């Protein structure tokens, strides 16, 4: 672990010993949660300060698996790897059966879980699942407007919108181009970025959370907030 943190001391103003102590404490907490969150996932929010067990649904389950893989990367502890691999199987099943995937959150779900498993361990199921997720994300790309639709049935006029969060889902598409050699993933990610930059930035340099696109003309229509401070 010392080599991992040898360059942090000068940047963080902390001793290497203190950094390593903090990492040990963090990874110990993760390990303590494995008994409850190996065959289950953490809920998207807490109740009285605690997560409850859920199946692999909603849009946040990849975050917990990502933490598990970070703990494995830092410690090489096989217990973390075992949990991560169990989660990969669950994510593969989820995308194959299209369980709660009618949204653009494939990057949140699959980059942190399955891409990580492939990069760290060469996990082929992780690679398969992540490519399937990237394929699914491409189905939400709307040629008329050149963007990835956030939620709802694709093409539905009332849901013809992007949200700023999707920018964090796009690395999955760039990764898919890297491993498959298919440029379509990266090309459509790039087009989405250009569309988003044209409409989500306000004049005061803040951003809209949600922006509707005119389904007939493909032009940016108006911005609102679904999760944010204000509409205007």
Residue 199 to residue 219: CA distance in whole angstroms: 10
CB-based contacts of 74, cutoff 8 Å, min separation 6: 1, 4, 23, 27
User: Of 77, 159, 165, 204, which is the active-site residue?
Assistant: 165
Active-site residue 39, yes or no? Answer: no
Given 1.50.10.10, 3.90.870.10, 1.10.287.3240, 3.40.190.10, which CATH number is that of 1-139? 1.50.10.10
Active-site residue 204, yes or no? Answer: no
pLDDT values of the chain reduced to their tens digit, one per residue, 232 residues: 444 555 555 555 678 888 899 999 999 999 999 999 999 999 999 999 999 999 999 999 999 999 999 999 999 999 999 999 999 999 999 999 999 999 999 999 999 999 999 999 999 999 999 999 999 999 999 999 999 999 999 999 999 999 999 999 999 999 999 999 999 999 999 999 999 999 999 889 999 999 999 999 999 999 988 777 777 6
- Of residues 33, 156, 172, the one with CA closest to residue 112: 172
pTM of the predicted model as reported, rounded to 2 decimal places: 0.91
User: Of 36, 77, 105, 135, which is the active-site residue?
Assistant: 105
Q: For the chain, give the number of residues.
A: 232
């Amino acid at each position: 672990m010392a080599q991992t943190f040898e360059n942090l001391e000068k940047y963080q103003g902390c001793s290497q010993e203190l950094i390593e102590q903090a990492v040990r404490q963090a990874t110990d907490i993760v390990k303590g949660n494995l008994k409850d969150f190996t065959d289950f996932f953490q809920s998207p929010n807490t109740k009285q300060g605690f997560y409850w067990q859920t199946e692999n649904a909603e849009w946040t389950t990849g975050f917990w698996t990502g933490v598990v893989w970070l703990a494995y990367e830092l410690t090489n502890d096989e217990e973390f790897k075992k949990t991560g691999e169990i989660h990969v199987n669950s994510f593969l099943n989820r995308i194959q059966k299209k369980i709660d995937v009618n949204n653009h959150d494939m990057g949140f779900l699959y980059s942190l879980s399955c891409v990580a498993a492939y990069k760290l361990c060469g996990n082929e199921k992780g690679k398969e699942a992540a490519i399937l997720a990237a394929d699914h994300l491409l189905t939400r790309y709307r040629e008329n407007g050149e963007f990835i639709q956030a939620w709802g049935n694709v093409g539905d006029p009332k849901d013809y919108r992007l949200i700023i969060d999707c920018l964090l889902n796009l690395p999955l598409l760039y990764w898919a181009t890297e491993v498959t050699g298919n440029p379509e993933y990266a090309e459509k990610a790039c087009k989405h970025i250009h569309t988003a930059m044209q409409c989500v930035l306000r004049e005061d340099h803040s951003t809209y959370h949600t922006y509707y696109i005119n389904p007939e003309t493909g032009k940016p229509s108006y911005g609102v907030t679904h999760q944010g401070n204000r509409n205007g």
